[in-house]
Homo-oligomer: A and B are copies of this chain.
Amino acid sequence: MTAGTVGGDLDVELTAGVTAAAGFAAAGVAAGIRSDGREDLALVVNRGPEYQAAGVFTTNRVFAAPVDWSRRALRDGRLKAVVLNSGCANACTGRRGRDDAAQTAAWAGERLAATADQVAVCSTGLIGSNLPMERLRQGLDQAVAELSEDGGPAAARAILTTDTRTKQAAWRSPAGWTVGGMAKGAGMLAPGLATMLVLLTTDAVCDSTELEPALWSAAAVSFDRLDSDGCMSTNDAVLLLASGACGIVPGRDEFERGLTAVCLSLARQLIADAEGAEHDIAITVSRAASQEDAVEVARAVARSNLFKCAVAGRDPNWGRIMAAVGTTRAAFDPDDIDVSFNGVTVFRQGAPDAPREAVDLGPRQVELVINLRAGDEEATVWTNDLTHGYVSENADYSS
């Protein structure tokens, strides 16, 4: 990876997305769901020969109608298409919202020789408004007509909201199969999952019973470790479709590795384009007693508004970090913790060390390491700083 990354090289392509894998076609059209005339409706179709699928969804108990629909559609582990729209989240819309989600799937199915429950739907945008169904229907007609094996980038554009750029990634196995994907994020980025729509595709031959654990595993170390603003969305969905079009059965480990690389790339692209952010912060907790401890500590720091403001102000404020660490149940001795920013240890074994001036927080990438000296486990959570830009995007403009 190049621009906008946090962390190392993932060896993925950034210009290819959901149509990188064989067997998939996509389109992105302007259906008039958004008021600004931009592309707002994406259609991604699995042309087979297989239609295996898996998904993970928001754990928010106030979940949107499309989440409800897609969760049901995935019960048999098969999907032939996904309809995604921006400009309207179809959340908190009651029975009408549920009917609209079902109708969207039914219309797409009619046009693709599929049943409604072979079609997943994803929506993102303003909570509480209804989908303009007539425009959506006409948009579907256009999208079906424009379906193409080169349609990935257009689909990636159509799902953006306050994102400033598309997020795509693809990983090609030397064995001949490919996994690719696209994502949108920007606001309400916090786990279980971060606020996002992600659609992943592969041409490998995989049964849905194999796809599901691989997807959970990959999401757990990528999307579930984003915590941009601590706010959990009503619409998160990460879907994985497998066409089997390349005819190759991948090794389980290699498949999980490739899938994880794509998920990590998309996750980092999400953080790099989060609302108003000026810094991408990788919070690594090292020498923790357990993975759970490492993640809990990293997440507590990622949720500290005071810490996030300090980074915006280019201040390596370890005091605010220690105050956040102290709110957790993780194993540690406060007098035996180190904190370093970009390799400079500003707090060592419970006492101030290098002066704050030794740390340069000018660059966008910030690597924070908190050494708990309590074990051998390590985990990284990605977050952003809290800036005037974030307040402006979420206060000065309605949404």
Contacts and interface: CB of A to CB of B under 8 A. Distances in A.
Contacts of A60: 323, 326-327
A120 interface: no
Nearest to A61: B326
A29 interface: no
Interface stretch (A34-42, A88-96, A177-185): A88-96
Assembly of this chain: how many copies? 2
Nearest to A335: B94
A154 to B, nearest CB: 28
A213 B265 CA distance: 53
Interface in A173-225: 187-188
Given A127-B323, A229-B306, A351-B94, A388 B388 contact: yes
B398 A387 contact: no
A46 interface: no
A233 interface: yes
B388 A319 contact: no
A182 B317 CA distance: 29
Nearest to A96: B351
Nearest to A303: B230
Interface stretch (A3-11, A102-110, A254-262, A307-315): A307-315
Report the contact-size class of chain A (Cβ under 8 Å from the partner): 35 or more
Nearest to A195: B323
A315 B398 contact: yes
A313 B61 contact: no
Contact of A386 (B93, B188, B391): B391
Nearest to A396: B313
A234 B93 CA distance: 43
Interface in A362-399: 385-388, 390-392, 394-399
Given A317-B399, A386-B395, A394-B313, A322 B234 contact: yes
A315 to B, nearest CB: 5
Given A306-B187, A351-B93, A388-B388, A231 B394 contact: no
Contacts of A315: 395, 398-399
A126 interface: yes
Contact of A326 (B230, B232, B303, B391): B232
Given A231-B320, A313-B395, 12 more contacts: A62-B325, A94-B350, A127-B319, A127-B320, A128-B319, A128-B347, A128-B352, A232-B323, A234-B322, A234-B323, A315-B398, A386-B391
8 contacts: A92-B318, A92-B334, A128-B347, A188-B323, A231-B324, A305-B305, A309-B391, A317-B399
